[in-house]
Amino acid sequence: MKKQQIAVLVSGGGTNLQALLDAERDGLIPHGTIALVISNKPGVRALERASERGVENLALDRKSFPSQAAFEEALQTQLKDHGIDLIILAGFLAILSKDFTDRWEKRIINIHPSLIPAFCGAGFYGLKVHEAALARGVKITGATVHYVNEIPDGGEIILQKAVHVQPGDTPEILQRRVMEEAEWQILPRAAEIVCSLLSSQSD
């Protein structure tokens, strides 16, 4: 069985990348292998995490490209050169254009720290999501893995997991609980679901 080649796109610390690397190590993504990690910012911890596991990694500094199109062309070249089948956005804070997402239809997935359609879309990322959830007073939040299209957080949902909000939660405490109880569990599961699907389509 040919394993699906996965590229993980990151922008920061890489905790979700770590969850994927650990899941692959533990045999939980049998239909896929993480072949490449790309950051749109140089010097981030996520690239170190990739190096520690011997995964090829590089930075494509978005600020060094004259346009979105030039950045995406460089990204596309790297993905093609590495034979990538599936892109996973794991804390990747750059928005991808319709032209790019159309090229990768049903082959890009993203993790979002809320139960979509709540607290999602443009401007909702990182702690902002958890601040909004607490401000609204919700009792249950969670995380969602979805396919990526040109609409931020707008693609078809693959998996969701609910997490209870506790009295006294701060955005930081809630963020950590959502990561531990939802994000780090459903992202590897979704990766395997999509890799298995892509494998069956290529047989």
112 phi and psi, to 5 degrees? -130, 135
**Catalytic residue (choose from 112, 130, 146, 164):** 112
- Return d(Cα 51, Cα 109) in angstroms, integer: 23
Residue spans of alpha helices (H) in the chain:
15-25, 45-52, 68-81, 98-103, 127-136, 171-178, 184-202
| 192: Cα separation from own chain's centroid | 13
Give yes or no: 130 in active site.
Answer: no
- Return d(Cα 57, Cα 51) in angstroms, integer: 7
Which are the catalytic amino acids?
Answer: 112
